Amino acid sequence: MDFMQALQARESCRAYQDKPVSREQLLKIVEAGRLSPSGCNAQPWKFIIIDEPEAKAKMSDALVVEGGATGCPWRDSVPAFIALVEQPAKVMPAVKEYYGDTQRFAQGDIGMAAMNMCYEAMDLGLSTCVLGMCDQAKMEQYFGVPEGHEVRMVLAVGYSAEDKEPRAKVRKPLEEVCSFNKW
Ligand SMILES: Cc1cc2nc3c(=O)[nH]c(=O)nc-3n(C[C@H](O)[C@H](O)[C@H](O)COP(=O)(O)O)c2cc1C
């Protein structure tokens, strides 16, 4: 499979087989995140693997935010999660000076890590879904995430129980999102 085929084939998975994912596999996925590029090479991330039953139950609860909304109604069937938490970034002085913020690149960095992790999972025969919404206070309470260290994404990881044929991609047309030499 070439890279464009992989881009077409990767898709968010929302139904998983009742089959565990090994720690070796989970660590390979994290390694793909760890090797990702980041602004000033700040690597402003921490990856928390959640694979034990008690921790998974807590993660399931944290995926329901205050008010009851969740992006993951199928959370109880997920074999493992990886939380991607933003860390304070050490950036070049000029970056901090210009933007007045050390965290300017951090969310983009975490997005890059997340994408590499999704493709490494795919290479291992696993499927993923990025989950953008979780309850920060619960993550701090349940997993000891330090206050103010935002959980930016949670990856659901497991063996897909969905149809084998990839869905057609729903994307904005190229001409809407791309231009040459001007807006
Ligand atoms: C930052 C982010 C947050 C997301 N949050 C959720 C979510 O809470 N629940 C969900 O089912 N999918 C979530 N997704 C998956 C998107 O819905 C999905 O990537 C998009 O619809 C494109 O579909 P595809 O991944 O199958 O190509 C999220 C994706 C990203 C990048």
What is the pLDDT tens value at each position of the chain, 183 positions in all? 899 999 999 999 999 999 999 999 999 999 999 999 999 999 999 999 999 999 999 999 999 999 999 999 999 999 999 999 999 999 999 999 999 999 999 999 999 999 999 999 999 999 999 999 999 999 999 999 999 899 999 999 999 999 888 899 999 999 999 999 999
User: For residue 39, is it within any domain?
Assistant: yes
Tell which atom from ligand 1 comes closest to the C-alpha of 10: 27
Separation of 14 CA from ligand 1 center, angstroms? 10
pLDDT of residue 83: 98
Q: Ligand 1 pocket check: which of 8, 12, 118 to mutate, most ligand atoms within 8 Å of Cβ?
A: 12
Considering the entire predicted model, what is its pTM?
A: 0.97
How many whole angstroms separate alpha carbon 98 and alpha carbon 117? 31
User: For residue 147, is it within any domain?
Assistant: yes
pLDDT of residue 163: 82
Q: Domain count of the chain?
A: 1
User: For residue 183, is it within any domain?
Assistant: no
Domain extent, residue 42, equals: 3-177
User: For residue 182, is it within any domain?
Assistant: no
Nearest CA to ligand 1 atom 10: 71
Q: List, in sequence order, every residue forming a beta bridge with 158; answer none if it has no partner.
A: 127
Separation of 12 CA from ligand 1 center, angstroms? 6
pLDDT of residue 181: 98
Binding-site residues, ligand 1, Cβ < 6 A: 11-12, 14, 71-72, 129-133, 153, 169
pLDDT of residue 164: 80
How many whole angstroms separate alpha carbon 118 and alpha carbon 38? 17
- In CATH, what number is assigned to the domain containing residue 166? 3.40.109.10
In angstroms, the Cα distances linking 14 to 52, 73, 75, 125, 147 are 20, 9, 8, 15, 30
Nearest CA to ligand 1 atom 26: 11
Decide: 57 and 20 in contact? Cβ < 8 Å.
no
Query: Is beta strand 80-86 parallel, antiparallel or unpaired with respect to 45-50?
Result: antiparallel
Task: Supply the Cα-derived Rg of the chain in whole angstroms.
Answer: 17
